[in-house]
């Protein structure tokens, strides 16, 4: 998709469709919308008065262009949440997604009062995301040429082309993250993810892949235990940007959970919706995609992406409840639930990242079902130590249109993870399990660290106005912005 900046007035822009945000405060219309409506011959007010668009019910409505040079006007709901990049990103996504399969090739997007660099960048990422079709990964023979039609060019009124050019690179990273997460487990297994990451050497990155013998020698038994039942052996993938070696006393490691398929192991999951567990690698997809994007935008950033990749499967070789393993940092873990596997692979991956010189850590994981139950599909929960480092991560999320919410790292729950046989159990009672999972991971970090649980936000369980069913590439833009801020010395921790 082409992203273009134009200084044209919305009443005179030439396009197939002009997307116009509608806000609750537009009752009555503000001056800007009233002027556009007058130029259009009153079609916007008429559509609202006739119920073709209801601010409380509709995400969008496609109406006639009236007296404007555009063929249609797309009214887009702008009040689902407050102003800024979050709203701009969703409006961009709704606008292009609403036109999938339609005849519009050129869309003009008017942000009205979200017109700053972050707002335009977020809208651009959203607009590209709205054209995403999961069916294009493998192809569907039933899809007609008309079904595959998408917006080819988006004109952002009042934007800076430099901002849009960078946003296009970031959007490409988000879409790649979605592809990686959406790919089936028989197509993208641990070794395949390593191959995908190795392609980043063309972007100047150094890619290291640890296989079972190397991980066994390093004592990564927490990670190896999870993967021992899978047909495909586990690997640990590390992507270092060119600036990693020059990082000195400030190096950022972004660590993503990479379970290519999660059956739950011996602690088997219910069959219902188990096919969605191919998305349990969304954290790994996000960190690798963020590394590729940063390599193309800011290669001197001292950033490393780490992706522990496994299959969590039942079978004769699989890890059993009651097994005791020793993690790389020397702590012993009693595995009471093999479906609490993500924290086990993160334990070794985070410690390994510290041995490589990481001074700051962020892990991204589809970790707990209770995160999805508590926060739904819009909000990702995070834990931080120290909290200032969490503030930096949250600020990066807000700047790119993602919604993170801090949860308490209640280390008082640590005693509930005590084991009579080992230093710690990997799973305790379900009450407070979102917090307990973070408390567990905290045992394996010594540097400033943030844990981000994306179990509810990593993928859509059905088609929505904002995104297609499947992976949404969550956290990718946040990690890119965090890497840029970290490289610029704007991160406080």
Catalytic residue positions? 269, 343
Residue positions counted in the chain:
493
Cα 82 from Cα 89, distance rounded (Å): 12
Residues 6+ apart with CB under 8 A from 109: 19, 91, 92, 95, 123, 127, 154, 155, 156, 157
User: Could you check whether the bond before residue 26 is cis, i.e. omega within 30 degrees of 0?
Assistant: no
The tokens for 450 are: 């943030």
Phi and psi (nearest 5°) for 425? -100, 155
The tokens for 49 are: 């008065």
Cα 199 from Cα 175, distance rounded (Å): 16
The tokens for 161 are: 């082309």
Q: For the chain, what is the radius of gyration of the CA atoms? A: 23
CB of 108 closer than 8 Å to CB of 15: yes
3-state secondary structure of 369: helix
Residue ranges in 340-386 assigned as alpha helix (H): 342-355, 369-375
User: Could you check whether the bond before residue 239 is cis, i.e. omega within 30 degrees of 0?
Assistant: no
Residues 6+ apart with CB under 8 A from 270: none
Give the DSSP letter string of 265-293: TTSPPPSTTGGGGGGGGHHHHHHHHHHHH
CB of 406 closer than 8 Å to CB of 394: yes
3-state secondary structure of 240: strand
Give the DSSP letter string of 291-338: HHHHHHH-TTS-EEEEEEEEEE--STTS--TT-EEE-TTS-EEE-S-T
Phi and psi (nearest 5°) for 305? -100, 135
């Amino acid at each position: 998709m082409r992203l273009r900046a134009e200084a044209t007035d919305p009443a005179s822009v030439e396009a197939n469709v002009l997307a116009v945000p509608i806000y609750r405060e537009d009752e009555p219309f503000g001056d800007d919308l009233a002027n556009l409506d007058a130029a259009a011959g009153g079609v916007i007010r008429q559509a609202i008065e006739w119920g073709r668009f209801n601010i409380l019910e509709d995400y969008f409505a496609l109406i006639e262009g009236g007296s404007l040079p555009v063929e249609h006007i797309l009214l887009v709901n702008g009040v689902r949440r407050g102003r800024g990049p979050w709203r701009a990103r969703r409006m961009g996504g709704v606008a292009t997604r609403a036109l999938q399969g339609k005849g519009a090739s050129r869309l003009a997007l008017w942000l009205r009062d979200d017109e700053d660099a972050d707002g335009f960048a977020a809208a651009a990422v959203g607009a590209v995301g709205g054209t995403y079709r999961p069916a294009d990964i493998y192809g569907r023979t039933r899809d007609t040429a008309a079904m595959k039609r998408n917006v080819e060019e988006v004109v952002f009124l009042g934007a800076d082309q430099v901002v849009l050019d960078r946003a296009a690179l970031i959007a490409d990273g988000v879409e790649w993250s979605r592809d990686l997460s959406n790919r089936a487990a028989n197509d993208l297994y641990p070794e395949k993810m390593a191959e995908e990451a190795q392609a980043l050497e063309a972007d100047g990155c150094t890619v290291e892949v640890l296989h079972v013998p190397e991980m066994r020698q390093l004592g990564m038994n927490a990670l190896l235990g999870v993967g021992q039942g899978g047909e495909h052996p586990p690997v640990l993938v590390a992507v270092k940007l060119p600036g990693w070696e020059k990082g000195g006393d400030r190096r950022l490691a972004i660590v993503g959970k990479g379970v290519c398929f999660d059956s739950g192991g011996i602690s088997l999951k219910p069959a219902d919706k188990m096919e969605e567990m191919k998305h349990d690698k969304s954290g790994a997809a996000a960190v690798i995609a963020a590394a590729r994007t940063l390599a193309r935008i800011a290669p001197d950033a001292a950033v490393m992406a780490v992706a522990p990749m496994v299959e969590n499967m039942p079978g004769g070789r699989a890890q059993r409840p009651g097994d005791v393993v020793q993690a790389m940092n020397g702590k012993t873990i009693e595995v009471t639930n093999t479906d609490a596997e993500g924290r086990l692979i993160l334990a070794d991956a985070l410690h390994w990242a510290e041995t490589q010189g990481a001074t700051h850590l962020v892990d991204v994981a589809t970790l707990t079902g209770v995160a999805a139950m508590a926060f739904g599909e819009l909000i990702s929960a995070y834990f931080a130590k120290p909290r200032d480092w969490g503030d930096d991560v949250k600020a990066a999320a807000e700047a790119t249109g993602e919604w993170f919410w801090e949860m308490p790292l209640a280390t008082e729950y640590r005693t509930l993870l005590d084991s009579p046989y080992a230093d710690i159990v990997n799973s305790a009672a379900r009450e407070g399990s979102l917090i307990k999972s973070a408390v567990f991971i905290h045992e394996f970090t010594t540097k400033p660290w943030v844990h981000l649980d994306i179990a509810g936000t990593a993928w859509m369980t059905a088609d929505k106005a904002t995104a297609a069913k499947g992976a949404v590439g969550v956290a990718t833009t946040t990690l890119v912005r965090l890497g840029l801020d970290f490289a610029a010395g704007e991160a406080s921790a």
